[in-house]
Amino acid sequence: MNMSERPHSLIYTDWTVIEPHFDPTLLHARETVFTIGNGYLGTRGSFEEGHPQAMAATLIHGVYDHVPVVYTELVNCPDWLPLVITIEGDRFRLDQGEVLSYERSLDLQHGRLSRSVRWRSPAGKTIDLHFERFASFADQHVLALRCQITPVDFEGSIEVQASINGYPENQGFNHWESIGQGATRHGVWLRVRTRTSRIELAMASGMNLSGAEGSPQTANVPGYPTLLTSFFASPDQTVTIENVITVYTSRDVEAPTQAAQTKLADLPSYADLRSQHEDAWKQAWENSDILIEGDVKSQLAVRYNIFQLLISAAKHDDQVSIPAKTLSGFGYRGHVFWDTEIFILPFFTYTQPALARNLLTYRYHTLEGARRKAAHYGFKGAMYSWESADTGDEVTPRWALPNDPYAEDIRIWCRDREIHISADIAYAAWNYWQATGDDDWMRDYGAEIILDTAVFWMSRVEWSNRHERYEIREVIGADEYHEHDVNNSVFTNRLAQWHLEKAIAVYDWLKQHHPQRLSDLEKKLKITPERRSRWQDIAKNLWILDSPSGLIEQFEGFFDLKDINLNDYEPRTKSIQALIGIEEGNRRQVLKQPDVLMLLYLMRQSQEFPYSPAAVEKNWDYYAPRTDITYGSSLGPAIHSILASDLGKSVEAYDRFMQAALVDLEDTRGNASEGIHGASAGGIWQVVVFGFGGIQLGDRHPVANPHLPPGWSRLKFRLHWRGKWHDFDLKPNPTQHLPAPMTPPPPSSPRLPIRGVIFDLDGVLTDTAEYHYRSWQRLADEEELPFDRDANEALRGVSRRESLMLIVGDRTYSEAQLHEMMERKNGYYVELIQTVSPHDLLPGALTLLEELRQAGIKTAIGSASKNARPVVEKLGIADQVDAIADGYSVEHPKPAPDLFLFAAQELGLDPGECVVFEDAAAGVEAALAAGMWAVGLGPEERVGAAHVVLPSLADMHWSAVQERVQQASHQECANS
Amino acid sequence: MNMSERPHSLIYTDWTVIEPHFDPTLLHARETVFTIGNGYLGTRGSFEEGHPQAMAATLIHGVYDHVPVVYTELVNCPDWLPLVITIEGDRFRLDQGEVLSYERSLDLQHGRLSRSVRWRSPAGKTIDLHFERFASFADQHVLALRCQITPVDFEGSIEVQASINGYPENQGFNHWESIGQGATRHGVWLRVRTRTSRIELAMASGMNLSGAEGSPQTANVPGYPTLLTSFFASPDQTVTIENVITVYTSRDVEAPTQAAQTKLADLPSYADLRSQHEDAWKQAWENSDILIEGDVKSQLAVRYNIFQLLISAAKHDDQVSIPAKTLSGFGYRGHVFWDTEIFILPFFTYTQPALARNLLTYRYHTLEGARRKAAHYGFKGAMYSWESADTGDEVTPRWALPNDPYAEDIRIWCRDREIHISADIAYAAWNYWQATGDDDWMRDYGAEIILDTAVFWMSRVEWSNRHERYEIREVIGADEYHEHDVNNSVFTNRLAQWHLEKAIAVYDWLKQHHPQRLSDLEKKLKITPERRSRWQDIAKNLWILDSPSGLIEQFEGFFDLKDINLNDYEPRTKSIQALIGIEEGNRRQVLKQPDVLMLLYLMRQSQEFPYSPAAVEKNWDYYAPRTDITYGSSLGPAIHSILASDLGKSVEAYDRFMQAALVDLEDTRGNASEGIHGASAGGIWQVVVFGFGGIQLGDRHPVANPHLPPGWSRLKFRLHWRGKWHDFDLKPNPTQHLPAPMTPPPPSSPRLPIRGVIFDLDGVLTDTAEYHYRSWQRLADEEELPFDRDANEALRGVSRRESLMLIVGDRTYSEAQLHEMMERKNGYYVELIQTVSPHDLLPGALTLLEELRQAGIKTAIGSASKNARPVVEKLGIADQVDAIADGYSVEHPKPAPDLFLFAAQELGLDPGECVVFEDAAAGVEAALAAGMWAVGLGPEERVGAAHVVLPSLADMHWSAVQERVQQASHQECANS
């Protein structure tokens, strides 16, 4: 995660994510980010006018079709976006002409994607375009698209073509056969059918033009039905095109074409559609929102992840589930993994239980596929597929096939060995039942899932005469770096054991409450009281690795594998597996994702074996450093964040949280183009609620035991538990405010009165400069580079890279070596700041903060450090500051004004109302550029550019500072 | 091959293949059959107006792109055919409205595909449409399409859209990214690029309208540029749309878009383009045509196969070769196999040597790929790839991947083991050199091919100390049913030995004539005199399996494998491998295609070891019955035909010839939809020239030693050999005529004078009824069914199936059993008719034939038997009949008139000028239905419907017959 290298950052407000520039190199990642949907379909954020490299997609739940190697995939459906706008013969597209301004934004609250572009055509005509689109959250078969067109400097003819593109592709492959198209008086329609699965789909499209003369014509080009209109427009005349599209498949209705046409004919106006859509979103957010104050980036990122989950869950269909990449991209081909049950489901269980029920019922409907899989492998009962699609049959590819004709193919073993999926599903079913008390579901659906998979485990375990114990051999546990000779994986064995325990409980519950249902199931699944006893025997005698020390061995022999020091591979942008190879990964103590820790997390809520706080600590210390948390699996960071939070490791907890929360928004793993990381999104919700909110689900009702990240002033959400809503409003400091989002004004001269103060952290409030010095010194010593305190003075206000360059002098290092040294130094620094305490506040700092609070002046931190939040926390002043702008907040570092502007915005103040305290020249420059008052701390030659120069904060009272600023203000007026 | 089940036969004339009906079930096979092309591209015969199940394709030489599993494939290029015609709002398409008449024909002589359709729209408007298209054989970058539209019963508006479809697909996959499109005053254009190989392609399209008012407009729908026009037309007013398209790729020119636009702007009229195109075809046929008289079906089929070869060979590109399925379909993904060098190349070497040179030079340009493959496998020199594409690297897929997620993947071993390909290429290079004397090519290209592959063989053979011999272990020979434990394949070892012998000869030739080139090659390929000696040693000591008996064991241990009786698996419509499985196929003495026999064929021309006529006979008797010639490999039948012809097995030779010749036209293997069988087409040419024509290439000049199939009255072709053309005009009977193609008139009363006589064969000229009886009797005995001569009387004139039904009576058999019994009976019958001789002519037959000849009356055979030709031959009357209509000639059997009408057409006579001699009621009925005179032989109750009834031909002279007919004629007049 190297955010400083991102060329074009997104802007975050409480509810809206804004893309202020168009960068073609981010095209595919941003198509994912700006995905919209409604639980029926998802549509990637591709441009209406098209782009040569576009990877447009509309994916509809359950529409799968055969494809080689991976068996089946979610089918890219006809594209409803194409809108070709031609200005006096020039086609509008961002790769031609000139983009004069651009802003795209996704309004999460209202589920609306919009874009404003000012564009100059190759012929020199300038035009304003404003696009808006939504997939109706109120009526899942309705899509809507609006374009407002305003000539700026010309009058002339404009042509608009709105099409249904019947040639969508899954990375080149078009699953559809066109079987009809035509026009009615309401618009055009297209009817297509998948090649193998024979699913029919129909779309109908209507167009409305206002603000100019013109009526839509139709052009029925084969497979590409088009509505076209042309009109004449003058400067400042806004013409509006509204395009509404209806969609049905043969999964929904018998006659999709008829349904799409009828629906189109009956639609209300665009404005009414939008208002119904917004009402539906309002309802969804009422129960699913999480409010965070004091950290706008976290606020937006959490809402963004929730939004992506809400648009992925089917409202009216219990035969589908959420694919690993939701309905937003082609990664994993729309297959469903344990990601849904373990990572995503809790969000739905506790905020949208009806949707959770749908998701779990998918596993009931795919039991037959799981039975076929069990039979294929020679086992009994139901063996769920590692990758599942429409039928539940195993669709994990057998091979990864290289393009190089001489390279060897790679066998993928998950289909055969990653059997914990069956227990994961039972775990989810059990916990849904516990949380909702939905006995009907358990009786009608859940019991059959849990019992028939218990039958599978019974046939899968082996009795070892030698050890007099049951064993499970040759598996892949949660950690996928180990796929050969993994016997008695503690994750797998314990979940299997837990599963059998719960199966017995379900059996007994049925026997007591629903004997007829039990009798039916006994017959259907061939369950007998003897088998129940057998399960008990297995649950009792299944060997679980453990040790008296509390350190759990991941599987038999794991501790005998060669150890690894992951730091040896830093810096890197690839997984450890990619660096050392699959076979070497198998031979080392390196994990792709938490495994023993994952088990501890799964047992944490119910405090079952082997969970204990001590076990978490012991195993964390061993396994966390051996886990490839950055590039291994995207499933890891959220889990590590929760456990780190439990362990009081607030730096790491927050860092892992942000890593997961920004995985798509900021593409921290480099694969956002393939689609939303659904499991990570679900994990984020668990971090906030179970980790930071510390929610414990006792037997009576949920209880919060919060440890909010540094700077968070409020955390508010609600949970549905056993039929009731439980509201949580966690506020460490009730006086804190909720900043209103605002756009920073252009820099201007500061003015009085002063309403806020922004402190640089390092060298102003604390002397972490000392920790930086000690970290650099340690690095320099290791590298045998000359360095001392004098040399350190030159590093003040200098970036990490420049500091390093000063230290290495003319010694030659490769770029990779330099990168590694910077990371190493930061590691030392992070270690050191764990020890920061209120004693580290510089003289005068605390007094000044208290005076400011009394004076009603708002305060913020404005530090380039990514560690600012934990440092503020450890300094004990978190309650005294109203906002924190840190290394995550903006793209451009000081001397750019961005960081201070961000802080002012967080405080809800104009820049001119703020004073900045800075000790570095670049910081002073940044404050001045922001149009703020600058107070320089230190020698004149360093901070002399500031309005006011002080030696330090020692003995400096707010009244004195105000006076000095006042003087400077008069001077400024005199000079002007 | 069960032709009686084909629902809609094609009609064959000397130069034109006609499809008289549209049958949607044959859509894909007929798209292949009606492929046109020009050596630069091939375009399948899909309909201009589209069809829901269409598999349209335009494939351009050398345009490959990456695809999973099979690495690379020939890319389906943008489609230039789409022509949407809308009649008063109804879109013309054959799957809607009503097709009142239909005829599609491919004129091979002029390279033109045309189609006439009378269509009634759903709204009841009737219209005549006539389409014509060609890919210019004179200018390979030009394509042309014409549509003539004539309203029949309405006046109204008609709209025509002519598009370039930028969404072509390779079975669903679209390899193209659209990178531009637009319009000029000449038309529209499209610019696209392949995804991985980054080949650019541009097409430009112009439209001309005549016969009505209207001017083309453009609609630039994304990826689908369209020219559209609409006009008003009245009944009988013919409006003509001419659409010309130009195409270039970045393989041809730097700027394809510019080139396509410029070419379009400079094009002459459609009529001129067509006339240049026809001139170019005329030239090609001058050297490549084969004229056959007396067998119109063979004539057409041979020309058809030659046509498909001529349109597949690049004229201006020596970096490409002919894929296994030419440029006509997706089978084998456009990969190049030994099919080109061994099966196809001789046709070009002897009739279009410049094209042969291009094809062979492709192997020179792909030497680097062959070297990479050798290095990958740890060998030296150049190891050609079993499947080759643009680079020469191995692109045989490693796996056949099943759709069923639980089925096991099948490893394909050809890439590793089928190493004879390197010797095949050397064989082709050597023989091209021998035939052409093209020393320059051998010096510059061929020598490097032959020598560097010799280096490969040197590194591939192993010395066995135990046996004191060189061996080649673990290969796949020509027969692909054996792929494990195949050591010392005689085919592979002998070709490797031959290759080394020829490499030494080339080395010595270079040394003598081009020492500088040899010196360069010695350096480049690291060839030394020591290596030359090493080759000699290997050639001398490489073990070739042989036996004193002359029966050659296919590979070590083949005779120890379990034997097989292929009859045990009849009837079948699948390969033996599909029936018994891959592993069982490996364990049995069953061959997919000729192997030892293939080796004998390859050594036949030069009479080298192990070829001898005795060896052919000995090995034929052993291997032919063990070869899966019907459904194994399409490479087999032509080779078997030639060897059968050599052995005097005329029935089998002709049968295998027809099997190969009709493989696409009549889809005898059921896979014509995947594309033209290129190797089979090349094999057909070899059958006709080397087999039936018996061409031997002595040291001085080619000599013919013909054994024409029964009924062939003339065989004419020319060969280019060592710089000169050699013409062959083989005519067993110089008095025979060349029938002009004609359309049979509707039945009418026959008239005098009589100019032709058509004889049924069975029961009229000979008593093969006896053989039928004996065959049925043998079957009945085996099945223990009651049957005798009396029962046999009931079978006269009754079809095979009905005969069987009469014999089985009320015994119950499954359809498969019935089918098997019919096949078995036919096998016995074919065996028996081998013994037919002139003694089997019925009394009076020979005299009558001689009288007819003297009287100038033409004679024909009109027999439903597929064995009619060999029987006529064996009866010794082949010279006495002018035409044969047999079981291959028509679709509908007697009593339909088709067979006799066909015979009359062959004779060049009107039906009314013919007399039919028949012994069966159904035959008499057929003659009357045809409007011919009928002479019935036999009892009144059987043939009383005839104009004249005679007991038999015994003592019946032509004068008497004429008199009887005359009487009947008077009677008829009196009755009318």
Amino acid, single-letter form, for residue B859: T
Which percentage of chain B shows pLDDT scores above 90?
73
Whether residue B743 is predicted with pLDDT greater than 50 in this model: the reply is no
Residue B18 DSSP code:
E
Which residue's structure tokens are 């013994």? B835
Report the distance separating Cα B780 and Cα B778, nearest Å: 5
Residue B620 DSSP code:
H
Q: Which of B287-296, B554-563, B694-703 has the lowest mean pLDDT?
A: B694-703
- Residue B565 burial class via C-beta count within 10 angstroms: exposed 0-12, middle 13-18, buried 19 and up: exposed
The closest alpha carbon to A714, from A367, A299, A351, belongs to A299
DSSP-assigned states of every residue in B554-600: SSTTGGGSB---GGGG-S-SS-HHHHH-HHHHHHBS-BSS-SHHHHH
Whether residue A834 is predicted with pLDDT greater than 90 in this model: the reply is no
Report the distance separating Cα A492 and Cα A476, nearest Å: 8
- pLDDT at position A337, please? 98
Chain B residue with Cα closest to A397: B405
- Cα-Cα end-to-end distance for chain B: 46
Whether the CB-CB separation of B571 and B819 falls below 8 Å is answered with yes
**In sequence order, which ranges of B242-323 are alpha helices (DSSP H)?**
256-266, 270-288, 296-310
Q: Which residues of A touch B173 (CB under 8 A)?
A: 172-174
Interface size A-B, in CB pairs within 8 Å, comes to 106
- For CA atoms B724, B730, B734, B735, the dihedral sign is negative
Give residue B791's pLDDT band: very low, low, confident or very high (50, 70, 90): confident
Whether residue B492 is predicted with pLDDT greater than 50 in this model: the reply is yes
The closest alpha carbon to B713, from B886, B888, B881, belongs to B881
Whether the CB-CB separation of A866 and A768 falls below 8 Å is answered with no
Residue A790 φ/ψ region, left for φ over 0, alpha for ψ in the -120 to 50 degree band, beta for the rest: alpha
> pTM of the predicted model, to two decimals?
0.78
Report the distance separating Cα B658 and Cα B572, nearest Å: 19
Whether residue B742 is predicted with pLDDT greater than 60 in this model: the reply is no
- For CA atoms A627, A628, A630, A635, the dihedral sign is negative
Q: Which residues of A touch B376 (CB under 8 A)?
A: 406
Chain A residue with Cα closest to B393: A405
From B752's Cα to the closest Cα of chain A, the distance in A is: 57
- pLDDT at position A805, please? 84
Whether the CB-CB separation of A557 and A483 falls below 8 Å is answered with no
- pLDDT at position B969, please? 78
* SS3 state at A201: strand
8 Å CB contact of B219 and A220: no
Whether the CB-CB separation of B522 and B448 falls below 8 Å is answered with no
Whether the CB-CB separation of A958 and A851 falls below 8 Å is answered with yes
Give phi and psi for A66, each to the nearest 5.
-65, 145
Whether the CB-CB separation of B300 and B353 falls below 8 Å is answered with no
Chain A residue with Cα closest to B193: A52
From A491's Cα to the closest Cα of chain B, the distance in A is: 27
The closest alpha carbon to B631, from B691, B568, B685, B566, belongs to B566
Chain B residue with Cα closest to A163: B221
Whether the CB-CB separation of A216 and A177 falls below 8 Å is answered with no
Of B66, B169, B173, which is closest to A403 when you measure between CB atoms?
B66
**Neighbour tally for B283: CB within 10 Å:** 12
- Residue A766 burial class via C-beta count within 10 angstroms: exposed 0-12, middle 13-18, buried 19 and up: buried
Q: What is the pLDDT of residues A480-512, one digit of tens each?
A: 999 999 999 999 999 999 999 999 999 999 999
- pLDDT at position B749, please? 65
Whether the CB-CB separation of B17 and B300 falls below 8 Å is answered with yes
Whether residue B734 is predicted with pLDDT greater than 80 in this model: the reply is no
8 Å CB contact of A68 and B68: yes
Q: Which residues of A touch B222 (CB under 8 A)?
A: 50, 82, 84, 163, 165, 224
Within 8 A by CB and 6+ apart from A615, the residues are A550, A552, A600
Chain A residue with Cα closest to B407: A376
Strand partners, A206: A244
Whether residue B111 is predicted with pLDDT greater than 80 in this model: the reply is yes
Catalytic residue among B90, B664, B760, B898: B760
Q: Which residues of A touch B165 (CB under 8 A)?
A: 222
Of B373, B393, B398, which is closest to A409 when you measure between CB atoms?
B398
How large is the average pLDDT for residues B877-904? 87
Q: What is the pLDDT of residues A155-175, one digit of tens each?
A: 999 999 999 999 999 989 999
**Neighbour tally for B212: CB within 10 Å:** 18
From B158's Cα to the closest Cα of chain A, the distance in A is: 14
- pLDDT at position B84, please? 96
Residue A31 DSSP code:
H
8 Å CB contact of A222 and B50: yes
Report the distance separating Cα B134 and Cα B40, nearest Å: 13
**Could you tell me where the beta strands, DSSP code E, fall in A722-800?**
724-730, 756-759
Q: What is the pLDDT of residues A262-293, one digit of tens each?
A: 999 999 999 999 999 999 999 999 999 999 99
Strand partners, A135: A143
Query: Residues of A near B (CB-CB distance < 8 A)?
Result: 50, 52-53, 66, 68-69, 71, 82, 84, 91, 161, 163, 165, 167, 169, 172-175, 177-179, 195, 219-224, 226, 228, 372-373, 376, 393-395, 398-399, 401, 403, 405-406, 409
From B408's Cα to the closest Cα of chain A, the distance in A is: 9
Whether residue A746 is predicted with pLDDT greater than 50 in this model: the reply is no
Q: Which tokens hold the place of B385?
A: 């790839």
Q: Which residues of B touch A52 (CB under 8 A)?
A: 177-179
Which residue's structure tokens are 């014409």? B146
Whether residue A817 is predicted with pLDDT greater than 60 in this model: the reply is yes
Catalytic residue among B90, B139, B390, B762: B762
Consecutive H or E run containing A181: strand A176-184
Beta strands B11-12 and B16-19: pairing type? antiparallel
- pLDDT at position A749, please? 65
Report the distance separating Cα A893 and Cα A922, nearest Å: 9
- Residue A148 burial class via C-beta count within 10 angstroms: exposed 0-12, middle 13-18, buried 19 and up: middle
Query: Residues of B near A (CB-CB distance < 8 A)?
Result: 50, 52-53, 66, 68-69, 71, 82, 84, 86, 91, 161, 163, 165, 167, 169, 172-175, 177-179, 195, 219-224, 226, 228, 372-373, 376, 393-395, 398-399, 401, 403, 405-406, 409
Q: What is the pLDDT of residues A300-316, one digit of tens each?
A: 999 999 999 999 999 99
Whether residue A822 is predicted with pLDDT greater than 80 in this model: the reply is yes
Give phi and psi for A501, each to the nearest 5.
-60, -45
Q: Which tokens hold the place of B645?
A: 């012809």
Chain B residue with Cα closest to A177: B52
Q: Which residues of B touch A394 (CB under 8 A)?
A: 405-406
Of B53, B224, B399, which is closest to A224 when you measure between CB atoms?
B224
Chain A residue with Cα closest to B372: A406
From B356's Cα to the closest Cα of chain A, the distance in A is: 29
Q: Which tokens hold the place of B475?
A: 């290969």
Q: Which tokens hold the place of A788?
A: 């001392």
8 Å CB contact of A405 and B399: no
Whether residue B792 is predicted with pLDDT greater than 90 in this model: the reply is no
- Cα B704 to the chain's mean position, in Å? 24
Known catalytic membership, residue B760: yes
From A81's Cα to the closest Cα of chain B, the distance in A is: 12
Q: Which tokens hold the place of A622?
A: 């061993």
Q: How many residues does chain B have?
A: 976
Of B53, B86, B405, which is closest to A394 when you measure between CB atoms?
B405
Radius of gyration from C-alpha coordinates of chain B: 30
Give residue B1's pLDDT band: very low, low, confident or very high (50, 70, 90): very low
Catalytic residue among A760, A840, A886, A898: A760
**Neighbour tally for B478: CB within 10 Å:** 29
Regarding an ipTM greater than 0.95, the answer is: no
8 Å CB contact of B174 and A179: no
From B446's Cα to the closest Cα of chain A, the distance in A is: 26
**Candidates A79, A220, A221, A385, partner chain B, best to mutate (most B CBs within 10 A):** A221
Whether residue A733 is predicted with pLDDT greater than 60 in this model: the reply is no
- pLDDT at position A942, please? 87
- Cα-Cα end-to-end distance for chain A: 46
Q: Which tokens hold the place of B803?
A: 């005969």
**Candidates B55, B185, B221, B415, partner chain A, best to mutate (most A CBs within 10 A):** B221
Q: Which tokens hold the place of B824?
A: 């078995």
8 Å CB contact of A163 and B222: yes
8 Å CB contact of A66 and B403: yes
Of B161, B175, B224, which is closest to A172 when you measure between CB atoms?
B175
CA B910 to each of CA B744, B892, B902, B913, B930: distance values in angstroms, whole numbers, following the listed order:
8, 20, 10, 6, 10
Known catalytic membership, residue A438: no
Whether residue B628 is predicted with pLDDT greater than 50 in this model: the reply is yes
Whether the CB-CB separation of A330 and A411 falls below 8 Å is answered with no
Q: What is the pLDDT of residues A318-357, one digit of tens each?
A: 999 999 999 999 999 999 999 999 999 999 999 999 999 9
CA A844 to each of CA A22, A290, A818, A954: distance values in angstroms, whole numbers, following the listed order:
46, 38, 38, 4
Q: Which residues of A touch B401 (CB under 8 A)?
A: 68-69, 398-399
Q: How many residues does chain A have?
A: 976
Report the distance separating Cα B646 and Cα B687, nearest Å: 11
